[in-house]
Amino acid sequence: MMRLIRYLVFLTGFAVLFFVEAASAEEISFNRDIRPILSENCFHCHGPAEEGRKAGLRLDEPGSAYADREGVRAIVPGDLKASEAVFRIRSTDPDEVMPPADSHYKLSEKQKVLLERWIKGGAQYQGHWAYAAPVSRENGAIRDMIDQGIGRRLEQEGLKPSPPAAREALIRRLSLDLRGLPPSAGEVQQFLADQSPGAWESLVDRMLSSAHCAERLALDWLDTARYADTNGYSIDDHRDMWGWRDWVIQAFIENKPYSEFIIEQLAGDLLPKATPGQKMATGFLRNGMNTHEGGTIPEEYRVAYLVDKVDTVATTFMGMTMKCAQCHDHKYDPISQEDYYRFYAFFDSATERGHGATNGNTAPFIKVASPLNEQAAFLDELKVRLDRIRHLRENLGDANPGEFARWREEVLAKSPLADKKDVPSPSRSKAGFRAPGPDRQPEWIWSEKSGATPRILIRKKIKVEGQLEAAYVFYTCDNNASLYVNGRKMGHVDPWMKPQLVDIASALKQGENIIAADAANAGGVAGFIAWVQLSYKDGTTRHELTDPGWFWRKPAPGNIAEMLAGEEGWQAPVSLGRHGVGPWRKLPMPGAAPAADGATLAGILRKAGAERSAAEKRQVNEAFKKQSSLLTRRMDKALSIEQGIVEKQIKEQGQTSVMVMDAPGKRKTRILMRGEYNNPGKEVTPGVPGLFAPLPGDTTGNRLALARWLIDEKHPLTARVVVNRYWQMIFGTGIVRTSEDFGSQGEWPSHPQLLDAMAVAFRRDGWNLKGLLKEIVMSKTYRQRSEIPGGTLESDPYNRLLARAPRYRLQAELIRDNALAISGILDKKIGGPSVYPSQPDGLWRQVSHFGYGAFTAQAYFGDIGRRAHRRSMYTFWKRTAPPPGMAIFDAPTRETCTVRRLNTNTPLQALVLLNDPQYIEASRALAARMIKEGGATSRERISYAFRLATARKVSSEELKILHAAFTREKKRFTEHPAEAVRFLAIKQESPGAIDLAAYAMVASTILNLNETITRQ
Amino acid sequence: MGSGLGTLAFLGMPNLQARNAPGSDLPHHDATAKRVIYLFQSGGPSHVDLFDYKPALKKLHGTELPKSVRGGQRVTGMTAGQRNFTVNGPIMPVAPRGQSGVTISDLLPYTCGIADEISLVKSVHTEAINHDPGITFINTGSQVPGRPSIGSWCQYGLGSANKDMPGYVVMISQGTGKNPGQPIFSRLWGSGFLPSNCQGVQLRGGGAPILYLNDPAGIDRDSRRKMLDDIAALNKIRLDATGDPEIETRNFQYDMAYRMQASAPEITDLSDEPESTFALYGEEARVPGSYAYNCLLARRMAERDVRFIQLFHRGWDQHGSLVPHLKAQCRDTDQGSAALVQDLKQRGMLDDTLVIWGGEFGRSIYSQGKINNGRDHHGRCFTMWMAGGGVQGGRMVGETDDFCYNIVKDPVHTRDINATVLHCLGIDDKRFTFKFQGLNQSPTGVEKTKVVRQLLS
């Protein structure tokens, strides 16, 4: 561990020195060396923002910096002594020193020296590099620009590129980068065998044309577009935007020119004769969060949605943070508050309201067919989901296994197994409950008409004479009552609208029996009503119905059962009328499945789930719902809400709803003072920030004009930002590391000329994204080895110079996708509605509004089968509780636009890979695959799995360790076969279980290797 | 790509990137608190009923709230259309307690017992008027989602002091007063733009206390250990072949995961607690997932030097059923909160443990519907309390008008509360920054803050 700490300390120290050292070796560049210092330490008071500017001095402009202010000049080019700035930064007087002592900013000695060298050398200013259009004289292939640009810089630093990587490493790298999946064993074989000079290129072409490549590119876009399946704020119920996700995948399948990709998402609705697809593309802007929290002031949130759109568009396409200017002029970049609201005005004309819809999409939205999924295909998906929900409703124990196990124990404990006759034979069908004809109706009874007595006991003695086949009580009470048969509590009913049917057969005996109720009234009129049915084996049925022939008494302290059996205090009740009389009217009569009494239920529960008949399953489910807990009833309700939504979608017959933009253009936009929604100022028209070339004069100033302006060849940012982000996708870090910020606070590019050359060429080549990706991966730079040459960790710790190929951990989604693919259980279907792979129980319920109202997405009901094995990009994304395995591996919440994820390395990640049931399932599947496909011997099988995970051959040293693990685990499982049964989650020992379990342990080891989750 | 970010925070070392940010060499001053226990009461507990003592309300109860008091204040859509704004005094008496006279309601008898240990801030205020923006604001410093939570800032800056446990742990409970309470969100303990290892780790009642903590069925500790040794050995071969230091970090993290598997269940295993513990916290402290249980766990984690422990207790949103529901909320939480403070004190840990109690806003003096039916949200003033970790007990900061409606003295914004929490940990909130989107982002945003000094010395 100490070694590790030393390394990290050492590494960080060098990271800071690195570029400064680089700078001192050559001429000073204002943009690279000086602007970052001034921006960080000085612009806050001496920058573009008028408000808060001190001494009228700007250090971001030469005019102001050189100006004479009553004989004092901040900067005098070439003259250190005359420059007040130099005096101030060198001063030790707390009243004079700059930055001021209380500002918490401090210049390092190196920074001071740099500033002095710059002033001495003439204090040359440059406009911020990113705001000038990229120019490049290079006109060749992008792959050559890359190799030359990277090579030149390496040479300057005295470094050499690494040799090409092994072919196994290359195909795996390419496959992970372009498809997000490992190469198949066959693909590896084929590539190794193909020694033709065009082998690499044809491999690249194959991968780029795969639909999985489109998926991988779409996954990258989902963070940027803050895509999610829920509304985000407050109750965070579901929405339907998967149709838009399908649109994105389809756009990448077609390799739509990136310029069109931008135009359609920003303004597809405004294109002449816009197609449904072009309209649905604008869902990009509508992916932001919305709210319908009670009490919301709609305008406050409408403004928030617009601010989110500005932030998303500026970050995604311009690499700019405009947010600051929402409230005041930008402190670092030349963006005024007016600029901000002119930009905001592009989106302000839409009709989207501040108060969002519940359980679905907020207007404006369109009904549209998926461009990717035939109607039948996604209806099938919805039907599978519907079946799953129905199954869970009918088997609530599967939705809530912990509670079910607890309840089952409780039921069994109450009815100990006396002898075999407790278990009803499933073949025998009992007589069900049926009420006598309409001429025989029970009466509502109570102690008096007014219902004044709040609690009474009621009873009737009945005789059983003969062999009973079935016996039931169907009853209810206003307000509530508990049912007793011979002193044993058999049920409880509350409220009266939900009468209860109870199977009382097990509680009856030959001769006299007492049917009784402990009944309560909470106020107003009260009544108790009951049907008692005795069905004999000889086919006769008798009914006892409530009437004034029953008895009631007041309860006294003491044992209820004794009181009910005793003879004191019983009197005749009054009748309040026959069944059907007001205020209760006709009660809902019970259906075919009778509620099981305790003993019957216990009998059913003693059987394995699969052995229960359909009717018995219904009985179990009804009893579980009624008896177990509030949680179970709430789950049933939550499932019914989910069911309703899926049924509605199925009814819509092949059209899904996607939220889109519109622009009736009726609203006038005003600057919001201090960014406050209720503090409007001057009116503004749509327009782009003043620092850029304006919109062409002939355009109308709408979103379409904005989109076209973004892709105009004079635009300094868009092409650079796009190229940089795809560079980041492939190499792990952008040429501009801060891919979200190209402004004056952003980082200086590692290879500015290369970035510009690629940006110009990308535009020249028609914004051909797959073309760009192909050029990148065809470069020699891409194909280097990733092993870290001695010494480069010190000189270039973050590998910004690319003297080797980068190595980094796969992103969250790809880690899971890989495990599924390696183990052979990945479902490769493309697109469609989101899926619900397994996650730990209760995560949503614990934070959501579960149990209140009728909202979707408040409780998680996992899919099983193939829908649990889809690629992670299709996992239902709830913003307030994102999939835990994803969040632990650094996935953002998708609440806001994210263009760069951080990459951490934590113990919680280890726990996911070691213990998440999804990875255990993958290990078992990989074990089965090893046995089936891996060859005859254990060594062959282990080597096969290793190759599937890493694409390379296992070394003898590695195989030795893995094989020893196999032998060890096999011994353990042989000695403890029950452990194998548990690990495999099977019912009982079976032939081959020991081997399978031992292979699964090896498989889990392989899935946990650093190499398996690393792109290298 | 972020080498080692994860490692540092879990090693209990301050993150070096934070150190490199301008001036954020931590600590900025001597810390008075080593750790924080934040008892967050979600939904907006009623300052009117619980703390903000106003004798004048006796007379004013049932009268119409003067327009001048409401001023131009915006109220939520839930009561904006109401014709009358009837003054609704506290449902149970509030009175001065203890030697110090800190004012607390009869609804909180146990809290009355620690009156001299806690200090009230009666003049906390927020701009938010609804739950989502309100709770996001106080926990992340902004109404708009996307920023790191206060706990994750601490984790980022100070790291974990316990090698085997995360430094920021979150526990959730649901009250019986309003079930379910308003939703809460993972962003409240999320890391926003900070590295994701700074986010709060949820400790769950029952089952595995941390997600994926338990080994799968069929694997025992010994076979797990051997498997980890195999993984380490295989990774080491690659380390030697590639020189990639991330591999060494990965091995370290697997080892730590193994240790965490032992240490986390130790925290939730209450078998070593004497009966006196349950006398103090109440019998409910035996029930996993209850507020009292979470309070007890908070103490057990504090003993193990977990830096930032945050409880979220739901159900304080009494728009209706004010009397029964507020009573239920108080019954669920009062004993646990007070027990925690007493327990820390008797263990000598209150001195360096800062305990905070409060929600996202307060509640209106006027009733929503009939008298004693309910109260709407109120962000213009509400009460929070703090104890220990440098906070002097028995004080009251800030004053409101006779209607518990407007602040008349010493306003304290929610961001001032956060600045104060950080101050106690030795952090100056404005000097502690992380660069994101071109800005040196601080935990309290760009607005000025002031530490509530009246609490401190």
Residue pLDDT, tens place only, A858-872:
999 999 999 999 999
Residue B353 reports pLDDT greater than 80: yes
Residue B191 lies in a domain: yes
Q: What whole-number distance in Å separates Cα of residue B4 and Cα of residue B130?
A: 39
Q: What whole-number distance in Å separates Cα of residue A71 and Cα of residue A48?
A: 23
pLDDT for A9: 35
pLDDT for B206: 65
Single-letter amino acid, residue B363: R
Residue B226 lies in a domain: no
Picking from A468, A630, A499, A610, the residue whose alpha carbon sits closest to that of residue A620 is A610
Only one residue has tokens 């934590």, namely A906
Task: Retrieve residue B256's tokens.
Answer: 């730590």
Picking from A351, A350, A339, the residue whose alpha carbon sits closest to that of residue A686 is A339
Residues of B in contact with A888 (CB under 8 A): 196, 211
Are A954 and A947 contacting, i.e. CB atoms less than 8 angstroms apart?
Answer: yes
Residues of B in contact with A299 (CB under 8 A): none
Choice between A33 and B381, residue whose per-residue pLDDT is larger? B381
Give the C-alpha distances (Å, rounded to integers) separating B384 from A1014, B51, B52, B75, B393: 47, 9, 10, 21, 13
With bands split at pLDDT 50, 70 and 90, how would you rate the model's confidence at A701? Answer: confident
Neighbouring residues of B297: CB distance < 8 A, sequence distance ≥ 6 = B171, B203, B267, B268
pLDDT for A219: 98
Are B378 and B361 contacting, i.e. CB atoms less than 8 angstroms apart?
Answer: yes
Over the stretch A103-121, which tens digit does the pLDDT of each residue have? 878 899 999 999 999 999 8
**Min Cα separation A638/chain B (Å):** 13
Whether the bond between B145 and the residue before it is cis, its omega within 30 degrees of 0, is no
Residues of B in contact with A42 (CB under 8 A): none
Instruction: Tell me if B131 and A234 make a contact (CB, 8 A cut-off).
Output: yes
**Min Cα separation A313/chain B (Å):** 14
Domains of chain B: total: 1
Only one residue has tokens 């549209």, namely A368
Mean pLDDT of all residues belonging to chain A: 90
With bands split at pLDDT 50, 70 and 90, how would you rate the model's confidence at A498? Answer: confident
Picking from B149, B151, B213, B211, the residue whose alpha carbon sits closest to that of residue B185 is B149
Are A379 and A654 contacting, i.e. CB atoms less than 8 angstroms apart?
Answer: yes
Mean pLDDT of all residues belonging to chain B: 91
Q: What whole-number distance in Å separates Cα of residue A759 and Cα of residue A719?
A: 5
Element (H, E) at B99: none
Q: What is the DSSP letter of B388?
A: B
Q: What whole-number distance in Å separates Cα of residue B30 and Cα of residue B425?
A: 8
pLDDT for A654: 65
Which of B182, B243, B253 lies nearest to residue A905, judging by beta carbons? B253
Q: Domain A431-593 is in which class?
A: mainly beta
**Min Cα separation B316/chain A (Å):** 14
pLDDT for A994: 97
Over the stretch B28-40, which tens digit does the pLDDT of each residue have? 999 999 999 999 9
Instruction: Tell me if A852 and B231 make a contact (CB, 8 A cut-off).
Output: no
Only one residue has tokens 């006398």, namely B279
Residues of A in contact with B244 (CB under 8 A): 788, 807, 1014, 1016
Which of A847, A920, A955 lies nearest to residue B183, judging by beta carbons? A847
> For helices A167-179 and A185-193, what crossing angle results, to 10°?
130
| SS3 call for B269 | coil
Per-domain residue ranges of chain A: 25-127, 142-209+716-795, 219-369+660-710, 431-593, 812-888, 915-1015
Q: What is the DSSP letter of A571?
A: B
Which of B10, B231, B234 lies nearest to residue A906, judging by beta carbons? B10
Q: What is the DSSP letter of A669?
A: E
ipTM of the complex: 0.86
In degrees and rounded to multiples of 5, residue A451 shows phi and psi of: 75, 25
Instruction: Tell me if A983 and B186 make a contact (CB, 8 A cut-off).
Output: no
CATH number at residue B204: 3.40.720
Residues of B in contact with A234 (CB under 8 A): 130-132, 182-183
Residue A597 reports pLDDT greater than 80: no
pLDDT for B108: 98
**Min Cα separation A593/chain B (Å):** 33
pLDDT for A141: 96
User: What is the 3 state secondary structure string of A466-513?
Assistant: CCEEEEEEEEEEECEEEEEECCEEEEEECCCCCCEEEECHHHCCCEEE
Q: What whole-number distance in Å separates Cα of residue B216 and Cα of residue A922?
A: 13
Q: What whole-number distance in Å separates Cα of residue A232 and Cα of residue A230?
A: 6
Instruction: Tell me if A106 and B22 make a contact (CB, 8 A cut-off).
Output: yes
Neighbouring residues of A157: CB distance < 8 A, sequence distance ≥ 6 = A22, A795, A796, A801
Q: What whole-number distance in Å separates Cα of residue B433 and Cα of residue A822?
A: 42
Instruction: Tell me if B186 and A787 make a contact (CB, 8 A cut-off).
Output: no
Over the stretch A136-145, which tens digit does the pLDDT of each residue have? 988 899 999 9
With bands split at pLDDT 50, 70 and 90, how would you rate the model's confidence at A424? Answer: very low
Instruction: Tell me if B183 and A234 make a contact (CB, 8 A cut-off).
Output: yes
- Give me the mean pLDDT over the B287-314 stretch: 96
Residues of A in contact with B242 (CB under 8 A): 786-788, 807, 1016
Instruction: Tell me if B144 and A961 make a contact (CB, 8 A cut-off).
Output: no
Residues of A in contact with B187 (CB under 8 A): 880, 893, 895
Residue B17 reports pLDDT greater than 60: no
Instruction: Tell me if B252 and A787 make a contact (CB, 8 A cut-off).
Output: no
Lowest-confidence pick of A842-851, A921-930, B199-208: B199-208
Are A12 and B20 contacting, i.e. CB atoms less than 8 angstroms apart?
Answer: yes
Residue B277 lies in a domain: no
Q: What whole-number distance in Å separates Cα of residue B35 and Cα of residue A692?
A: 49
Q: What whole-number distance in Å separates Cα of residue B325 and Cα of residue B314?
A: 12
Task: Retrieve residue B420's tokens.
Answer: 């104060």
Q: Give bridge partners of residue A543 from the DSSP assignment.
A: A533
Q: What whole-number distance in Å separates Cα of residue A485 and Cα of residue A503?
A: 11
Q: What whole-number distance in Å separates Cα of residue A30 and Cα of residue A36?
A: 9
> Is A308 buried (19+), middle (13-18) or exposed (0-12) by CB count in 10 A?
buried
With bands split at pLDDT 50, 70 and 90, how would you rate the model's confidence at A430? Answer: low
Burial of A225-241, coded b for 16+ CB within 10 Å and e otherwise, reads: bbbbbbbbbbbbbbbbb
Give the residue from chain A lying closest to B9, CA to CA: A906
Give the residue from chain A lying closest to B5, CA to CA: A904
Only one residue has tokens 């008898």, namely B109
Measured from the Cβ of residue A673, the count of other Cβ atoms closer than 10 Å reads 14
In degrees and rounded to multiples of 5, residue B309 shows phi and psi of: -120, 120
**Min Cα separation A880/chain B (Å):** 5
- Give me the mean pLDDT over the A9-38 stretch: 59
Q: Quick one: how far is CA B436 from the chain centroid? A: 25
Give the residue from chain A lying closest to B25, CA to CA: A104
- Give me the mean pLDDT over the A751-774 stretch: 97
User: What is the 3 state secondary structure string of A50-119?
Assistant: CCCCCCCCCCCCHHHHHCEECCEECCCCCCCCCCHHHHHHHCCCCCCCCCCHHHCCCCCHHHHHHHHHHH
Residue B60 lies in a domain: yes
Single-letter amino acid, residue A635: M
With bands split at pLDDT 50, 70 and 90, how would you rate the model's confidence at B188? Answer: very high
Residue B43 lies in a domain: yes
Which of B210, B242, B253 lies nearest to residue A788, judging by beta carbons? B242
- Count of alpha carbons within 13 Å of A894, Cβ hemisphere only? 30
Among B29, B230, B253, B442, the strongest candidate for a mutation testing the A interface, having the largest count of A CBs within 10 A, is B230
Instruction: Tell me if A880 and B185 make a contact (CB, 8 A cut-off).
Output: yes
Q: What whole-number distance in Å separates Cα of residue A421 and Cα of residue A418?
A: 8
Single-letter amino acid, residue A597: D
Are A678 and A299 contacting, i.e. CB atoms less than 8 angstroms apart?
Answer: yes
Lowest-confidence pick of A250-259, A553-562, A588-597, B404-413: A588-597
Are B441 and B46 contacting, i.e. CB atoms less than 8 angstroms apart?
Answer: no
pLDDT for A455: 92
User: Using only C-alpha atoms, what is the Rg of chain B?
Assistant: 23
- As a whole number of Å, the end-to-end CA separation of chain A is 24
Only one residue has tokens 């999804």, namely A918
- Give me the mean pLDDT over the A551-565 stretch: 89
Single-letter amino acid, residue A429: S
Instruction: Tell me if A910 and B197 make a contact (CB, 8 A cut-off).
Output: no
pLDDT for A536: 86
Over the stretch A635-670, which tens digit does the pLDDT of each residue have? 999 999 999 999 988 887 667 889 999 888 778 999
Residues of A in contact with B260 (CB under 8 A): 907, 911
pLDDT for A244: 97
Q: What whole-number distance in Å separates Cα of residue A98 and Cα of residue A87?
A: 9
Give the C-alpha distances (Å, rounded to integers) separating A609 from A836, A953, B238: 24, 45, 48
Q: What whole-number distance in Å separates Cα of residue A670 and Cα of residue A685?
A: 8
Among A231, A234, A739, A904, the strongest candidate for a mutation testing the B interface, having the largest count of B CBs within 10 A, is A904
Residues of B in contact with A315 (CB under 8 A): 437
Which of B2, B377, B431 lies nearest to residue A904, judging by beta carbons? B2
Residue B3 reports pLDDT greater than 60: no
Residues of B in contact with A965 (CB under 8 A): 226-227, 230
**Min Cα separation B398/chain A (Å):** 27
Give the residue from chain B lying closest to A107, CA to CA: B22
**Min Cα separation B454/chain A (Å):** 23
- Give me the mean pLDDT over the A57-79 stretch: 91
Only one residue has tokens 């080019």, namely A77
pLDDT for B20: 40
Choice between A836 and A72, residue whose per-residue pLDDT is larger? A836
User: Using only C-alpha atoms, what is the Rg of chain A?
Assistant: 37
Which of A4, A809, A1004 lies nearest to residue B252, judging by beta carbons? A4
Q: What whole-number distance in Å separates Cα of residue A733 and Cα of residue A806?
A: 9
Lowest-confidence pick of A420-424, A604-608, B312-316, B434-438: A420-424
Instruction: Tell me if B185 and A236 make a contact (CB, 8 A cut-off).
Output: yes
Q: What whole-number distance in Å separates Cα of residue B369 and Cα of residue A720?
A: 59
State which residues form the domain around B25. 5-211+286-455
With bands split at pLDDT 50, 70 and 90, how would you rate the model's confidence at A392? Answer: very high
Task: Retrieve residue A297's tokens.
Answer: 């002031």
Are A399 and A631 contacting, i.e. CB atoms less than 8 angstroms apart?
Answer: no
Element (H, E) at A320: none
**Min Cα separation A467/chain B (Å):** 48
pLDDT for A649: 87
- Give me the mean pLDDT over the B19-26 stretch: 50
Residues of A in contact with B129 (CB under 8 A): 295, 297
Which of A297, A903, A1016 lies nearest to residue B2, judging by beta carbons? A903
- Give me the mean pLDDT over the A924-939 stretch: 98
Instruction: Tell me if B235 and A916 make a contact (CB, 8 A cut-off).
Output: no
Residues of B in contact with A793 (CB under 8 A): 243, 245
Residue B249 lies in a domain: no
Instruction: Tell me if A961 and B233 make a contact (CB, 8 A cut-off).
Output: yes
Residue B217 lies in a domain: no
- Count of alpha carbons within 13 Å of A2, Cβ hemisphere only? 0
With bands split at pLDDT 50, 70 and 90, how would you rate the model's confidence at A8? Answer: very low
pLDDT for A429: 45
Give the C-alpha distances (Å, rounded to integers) separating A63 from A57, A77, A132, A589: 10, 12, 19, 90
Which of B20, B131, B246 lies nearest to residue A293, judging by beta carbons? B131
Single-letter amino acid, residue B40: F
pLDDT for A600: 87
- Give me the mean pLDDT over the A367-375 stretch: 89
Single-letter amino acid, residue B369: G
| SS3 call for A18 | helix
